[in-house]
């Protein structure tokens, strides 16, 4: 386990370095941020002064090493646009995105697994057909369209739920979140559902496939031959085997949900990190983009780590620290 953690840590550092280099070069190639930042009527001297103050007059490699050196000291640079540390811009917005993503994932799991089980245990029945058809919609209708329909139905026609913003926040154990007030919850429901629909369909299908593939296996028949109850067979013997692929995929999907919350955040004006990223790319605000990606990559790495640990808990054949 210790070997596993150390190796994983070293790999992570390497991944972060490569990410930083690629993003740095990528943004440099897109365009010159000075063009965006300096008023068109600025004088030549003013120009030169701004460029020098941002360090943009230095060669790229030197800019990168300055950045890397500062990063090692915990400073990921200041936003060109806001003139504030980029990391604090990100951490201001990150909790809203995390909240949205985690609630969305929770919905996908809590609804998806039971529906998938139902469908897999009673294949080709009316229940199964309904669930499967529903999941096809979840898969194939574009997320922004689903979001607009949700707003149309629940906010515009029925007037039940608000459609923009985060609502009132509550505090619990020092954490600020919309989860802790009724108003906040109301604001959270629609965006969280919107973000979860695709994953919900995925969880349903994964669970159903898992059940279909596990039921015919010999160990299930052997469990029946032992005289176990059907509940024990489904919820212990079958379910524990399905958990293995579920954990893997859900872990991977959590990362992509974080990264792709942008669409939902845009539709529901959710003050998350996605909007910040889009704005920063448009303005070539390199420090923010780089810091954002480093934070997201770190989250990915952390999630993968948690997944691997969970995996080893569920599947006794996996031992952390063996081959990579």
Partner 1 sequence: MTPVLDVKNLSTHFMTRRGVLKAVDDVSFTVGQREIVGLVGESGSGKSITGFSILGLVDPPGRVVSGQILFNGEDLLKMPPTAMRTIRGKRIAMIFQDPMMTLNPVLSVGTQMVETVLAHDKVSRAEARQRSRDALGLVGIPSPEERLDSYPHQFSGGMRQRVAIAIALLHRPDLIIADEPTTALDVTIQSQILFEIKRLAGEFGMALIWISHDLGVVAALADRIMVMYAGKIVEAGQVDGVLTEPRHPYTSGLLSAVPAAVPRGEPLRPIPGFAPSPLSRPSGCAFRDRCARATEICATEPMLEIAADREFRCFHPHLGRAA
Footprint of partner 1 (CB under 8 A) = 216-219, 221-229, 232, 236-237, 240-241, 244, 314-317
The span from the CA of 252 to the CA of 300, in Å, is 8
Tell me if 283 sits within 8 A of 38, measured CB to CB: no
Quick one: 144 or 222, whose CB is closer to partner 1? 222
Minimum CB–partner distance for residue 104 and partner 1 (Å): 28
Minimum CB–partner distance for residue 236 and partner 1 (Å): 7
Beta strand extents in the chain (DSSP E only): 170-172, 175-177
Would you state the structure tokens that stand for residue 282, as one six-digit string?
């448009």
Cβ neighbors of 20 (< 8 A, separation 6 or more) are: 64, 67, 68, 71, 290, 293, 294
Minimum CB–partner distance for residue 250 and partner 1 (Å): 17
Quick one: 40 or 216, whose CB is closer to partner 1? 216
* Distances in whole angstroms, Cα of residue 286 to Cα of each of 34, 72, 139, 320: 11, 18, 34, 38
Minimum CB–partner distance for residue 221 and partner 1 (Å): 6
Minimum CB–partner distance for residue 245 and partner 1 (Å): 12
The span from the CA of 104 to the CA of 94, in Å, is 15
| φ, ψ (nearest 5 deg) of residue 122 | -125, 65
Tell me if 80 sits within 8 A of 170, measured CB to CB: no
Minimum CB–partner distance for residue 219 and partner 1 (Å): 4
Beta bridge partners of 78: 85
Quick one: 193 or 243, whose CB is closer to partner 1? 243
Quick one: 68 or 236, whose CB is closer to partner 1? 236
Quick one: 228 or 252, whose CB is closer to partner 1? 228
Beta bridge partners of 177: 170
Quick one: 168 or 312, whose CB is closer to partner 1? 312
Quick one: 7 or 221, whose CB is closer to partner 1? 221
Per-residue three-class SS string for 210-258: HHHHHCCCHHHHHHHHCCCCHHHHHHHHHHHHHHHHHHHHHHHHHHHHH
Tell me if 76 sits within 8 A of 291, measured CB to CB: yes
Minimum CB–partner distance for residue 112 and partner 1 (Å): 21
Tell me if 238 sits within 8 A of 215, measured CB to CB: yes
């Amino acid at each position: 386990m210790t070997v596993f953690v150390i190796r994983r840590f070293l790999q992570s550092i390497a991944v972060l370095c490569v990410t930083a280099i690629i993003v740095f070069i990528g943004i440099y190639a897109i365009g010159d941020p000075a063009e965006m930042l300096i008023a068109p009527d600025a004088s030549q001297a003013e120009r030169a002064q701004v460029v020098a103050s941002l360090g943009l007059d230095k060669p790229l490699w030197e800019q990168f090493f300055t950045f890397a050196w500062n990063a090692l000291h915990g400073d990921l640079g200041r936003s060109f646009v806001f003139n504030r540390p980029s990391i604090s811009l990100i951490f201001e917005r990150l909790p809203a995105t995390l909240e949205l993503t985690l609630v969305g994932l929770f919905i996908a799991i809590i609804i998806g697994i039971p529906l998938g089980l139902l469908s897999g245990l009673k294949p080709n029945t009316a229940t199964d057909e309904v669930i499967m058809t529903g999941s096809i919609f979840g898969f194939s209708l574009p997320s922004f369209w689903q979001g607009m329909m949700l707003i149309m139905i629940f906010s515009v026609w029925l007037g039940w739920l608000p459609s923009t913003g985060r609502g009132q926040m509550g505090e619990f154990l020092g954490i600020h979140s919309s989860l802790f007030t009724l108003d906040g919850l109301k604001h959270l429901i629609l965006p969280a559902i919107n973000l979860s629909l695709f994953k919900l369909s995925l969880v349903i299908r994964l669970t159903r496939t898992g059940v279909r593939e596990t039921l015919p296996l010999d160990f299930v028949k052997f469990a029946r031959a032992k005289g176990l109850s059907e509940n024990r067979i489904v919820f212990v013997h079958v379910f524990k085997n399905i958990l293995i692929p579920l954990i893997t995929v859900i872990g991977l999907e959590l990362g992509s949900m974080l990264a792709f919350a942008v669409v939902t955040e845009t539709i529901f004006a959710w003050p998350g990190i996605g909007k910040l990223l889009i704005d920063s790319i448009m303005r070539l605000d390199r420090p923010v983009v780089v810091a954002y990606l480093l934070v997201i990559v770190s989250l990915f790495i952390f999630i993968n780590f948690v997944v691997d640990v969970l995996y080893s808990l569920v599947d006794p054949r996996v031992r952390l620290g063996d081959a990579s």
